């Protein structure tokens, strides 16, 4: 076994270990939440995965960025097929192991890969311009500073460099195919990297071989490093968008989730039928103060958030200058989860560190600004529901702290006493019709 093979196997194993360790930590963080993942309506859930996560359906509400994103997305899916050849070559010490077996199909595949590589390069360059030169507003909100902004730029720059490495490797390889055909199997004419060939034709064989190997190592090591990095990045949505759309709520928008224990108690007080066989456990807390009070679906959604800001851009509260940003709600939830998870992994205080999601991350002003209009839910490309977290925090404020605004408390009291938000007896509710009838007569 050569030194290069041994080095590649070590790097591959290290990447696997790091990704596995991070995946376990993310799973533990999500399991801080309550309940279990829904398993009903499997066909409807799979339809969401195919149309929304895989098919990018909701992305195309904004065609220009959607088309650019589609090329990046397609490039990620298809170009990574070529990574399989890289891995086999790295482990076995071969070079383009599939070329002799795929014969005429190999040049076709290589040209598809190169087309997508160029498309990804162009799309990522356009995204960098949108973020840093055009300064699209939703990428420059208050929460999008420091690490979130740097994270997005690092990913885009890395993808551009990886695509350049593919084209460089292929161009140097084409020159070597003509000079040393025994070591470099023919790939056939390549439509894009051939434009780089004149720049390498004047190099001596050792320099060409070094260029080709450097580009090969840069690309495969970059891919493995990228795979590790995205588990700490917002680009984790590349993987988690699929389970998130599968487990997302299928209820009509605007239908709030009731607390089973409260529903049972109210039905019993009103003399309505109650399922006596079901004994819902007493809740440890009404609503949500910290991440362990939220559902596991909400915590999964926090990791699946793309930070694209479409939710915030559509939020009427945010548009009118209120403190609320639905994207920040998801980012804060993820940050709190990470803080608690890291503390627990290191034997620290975990949830008992004197902090909480509400208060230390999400403020009362933010949740009170929400109009519950579901615009953020409708806008999200991967069916994330920031409103569910906001409503759970509001439930905690109202039921545990009695801290809702006075006008809200008056409305709650009216609903409790009069079964309507207005302060008049149910018996007087139809008086307006009587008065209207008197005017007509």
- Over the chain, what is the mean pLDDT? 91
- Looking at residue 327, its pLDDT comes to 97
Q: What's the pTM value of the predicted model, to 2 decimals?
A: 0.89
> Across residues 78-85, what is the average pLDDT?
84
Residues 235, 344: one domain? no
Strand partners for 358: 362
Please tell me the total count of domains within the chain.
3
Residues 397, 417: one domain? no
> Across residues 30-36, what is the average pLDDT?
93
Per-residue confidence at 128, pLDDT binned at 50, 70, 90? very high
Strand partners for 15: none
Give domain status of residue 47, yes or no: no
- Looking at residue 266, its pLDDT comes to 75
Tell me the range of 71-80, 271-280, 299-308, 412-421 where mean pLDDT is highest: 299-308
Please indicate whether residue 47 or residue 410 has the higher confidence score (pLDDT).
47
Residues 88, 98: one domain? yes
Q: Cβ contacts of residue 105 below 8 Å, gap of 6+?
A: none
- Select from 76, 89, 97 the least CA-distant residue to 227: 76
- Select from 24, 20, 27, 47 the least CA-distant residue to 300: 27
With beta carbons less than 8 A apart as the criterion, state whether 219 and 211 touch: no
Strand partners for 295: 34
Please indicate whether residue 332 or residue 271 has the higher confidence score (pLDDT).
332
- Given 245, 275, 292, the domain boundary residue is 245
Number of Cβ within a 10 Å radius of residue 2: 8
- Looking at residue 117, its pLDDT comes to 94
Residue range 90-104, pLDDT digits in tens: 999 999 999 888 888
With a cut of 60, say whether residue 195 has pLDDT above it: yes
Give domain status of residue 42, yes or no: no
Residue where the block lists tokens 């995965």: 49
With a cut of 90, say whether residue 283 has pLDDT above it: no
Return the exposure string of 13-34: e unless at least 16 CB atoms fall within 10 Å of the residue's CB, then b.
eebeebeeebeebbeebbebbb
With a cut of 60, say whether residue 277 has pLDDT above it: no
- Looking at residue 418, its pLDDT comes to 83
With a cut of 80, say whether residue 237 has pLDDT above it: yes
Give domain status of residue 54, yes or no: no
Please indicate whether residue 416 or residue 220 has the higher confidence score (pLDDT).
220
> Across residues 414-430, what is the average pLDDT?
81
With a cut of 80, say whether residue 439 has pLDDT above it: no
Residues 131, 259: one domain? no
Residue range 11-24, pLDDT digits in tens: 999 999 999 999 99
Please indicate whether residue 281 or residue 255 has the higher confidence score (pLDDT).
255
- Looking at residue 441, its pLDDT comes to 55
Residues 341, 220: one domain? no
Give domain status of residue 36, yes or no: no
For residues 122 and 111, give the distance between their C-alpha atoms in angstroms, rounded to a whole number: 16
With a cut of 90, say whether residue 337 has pLDDT above it: yes
CA angle 399, 401, 403 (to 5 degrees): 95
Strand partners for 34: 295
> Across residues 152-159, what is the average pLDDT?
94
- Looking at residue 406, its pLDDT comes to 87
Give domain status of residue 44, yes or no: no
For residues 381 and 52, give the distance between their C-alpha atoms in angstroms, rounded to a whole number: 7
Strand partners for 362: 358
Residues 395, 432: one domain? no
- The lowest-confidence range among 59-68, 88-97, 252-261, 361-370 is 252-261
Residue-range definition of the domain harbouring residue 219: 3-30+62-245
Return the exposure string of 412-433: e unless at least 16 CB atoms fall within 10 Å of the residue's CB, then b.
eeeeeebeeeeeeeeeeeeeee
- Given 194, 213, 245, the domain boundary residue is 245
Residues 24, 130: one domain? yes
> Across residues 234-251, what is the average pLDDT?
94
With a cut of 90, say whether residue 412 has pLDDT above it: no
* Percentage above 70 pLDDT, the chain: 96
- Given 190, 210, 245, the domain boundary residue is 245
- For 34, phi then psi, to 5°, come to -90, 160
Give domain status of residue 49, yes or no: no
With a cut of 60, say whether residue 130 has pLDDT above it: yes
With a cut of 70, say whether residue 276 has pLDDT above it: no
With beta carbons less than 8 A apart as the criterion, state whether 299 and 32 touch: yes
Residues 223, 348: one domain? no
- Looking at residue 180, its pLDDT comes to 93
- Looking at residue 76, its pLDDT comes to 83
Residues 380, 423: one domain? no
Give domain status of residue 52, yes or no: no
Residues 120, 9: one domain? yes
Give domain status of residue 357, yes or no: yes
Residues 158, 90: one domain? yes
Residues 438, 343: one domain? no
CATH number assigned to the domain comprising residue 258? 1.10.1060
């Amino acid at each position: 076994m050569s030194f290069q093979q041994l080095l590649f196997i070590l790097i591959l194993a290290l990447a696997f270990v790091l990704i596995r360790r991070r995946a376990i930590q993310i799973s533990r963080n999500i399991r801080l939440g309550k309940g279990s993942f829904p398993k009903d309506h499997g066909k409807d859930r799979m339809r969401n995965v195919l149309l929304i996560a895989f098919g990018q359906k909701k992305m195309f509400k904004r065609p220009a960025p959607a088309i650019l994103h589609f090329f990046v997305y397609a490039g990620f899916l298809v170009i990574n097929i070529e990574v399989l050849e890289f891995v086999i070559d790295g482990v076995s010490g071969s070079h383009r192991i599939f070329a002799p077996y795929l014969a005429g199909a190999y040049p076709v595949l290589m040209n598809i890969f190169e087309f997508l590589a160029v498309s990804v390069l162009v799309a990522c360059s356009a995204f960098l311009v949108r973020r840093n030169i055009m300064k699209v507003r939703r990428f420059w909100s208050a929460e999008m500073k420091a690490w979130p902004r740097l994270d997005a730029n690092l990913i885009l720059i890395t993808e551009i460099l990886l695509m350049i490495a593919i084209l460089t490797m292929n161009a140097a390889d084409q020159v070597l195919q003509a000079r040393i055909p025994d070591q470099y199997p023919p790939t056939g004419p390549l439509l894009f990297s051939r434009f780089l060939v004149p720049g390498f034709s004047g190099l001596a064989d050792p320099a060409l071989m070094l260029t080709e190997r450097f580009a090969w190592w840069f690309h495969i090591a970059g891919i493995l490093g990228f795979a590790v990095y995205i588990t700490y990045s917002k680009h984790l949505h590349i993987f988690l968008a699929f389970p998130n759309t599968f487990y997302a709520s299928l209820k009509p928008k605007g239908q709030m989730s009731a607390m089973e224990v409260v529903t049972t108690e109210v039905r019993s007080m009103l003399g309505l039928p109650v399922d006596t066989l079901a004994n819902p456990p007493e809740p440890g807390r009404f609503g949500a103060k910290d991440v362990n009070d939220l559902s596991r679906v909400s915590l999964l959604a926090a990791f699946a958030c793309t930070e694209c800001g479409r939710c915030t851009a559509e939020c009427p509260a945010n548009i009118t200058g209120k403190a609320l940003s639905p994207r920040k709600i998801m980012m804060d939830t993820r940050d709190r989860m990470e803080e608690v998870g890291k503390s627990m992994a290191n034997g620290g205080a975990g949830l008992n560190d004197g902090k909480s999601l509400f208060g230390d991350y999400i403020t009362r002003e933010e949740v009170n600004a929400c109009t519950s209009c579901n615009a953020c839910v409708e806008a999200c490309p991967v069916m994330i529901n920031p409103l569910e977290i906001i409503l759970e925090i509001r439930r905690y404020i109202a039921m545990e702290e009695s801290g809702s605004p006075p006008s809200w408390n008056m409305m709650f009291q009216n609903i409790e006493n009069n079964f309507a938000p207005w302060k008049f007896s149910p018996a007087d509710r139809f008086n307006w019709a009587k008065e209207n009838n008197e005017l007509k007569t």
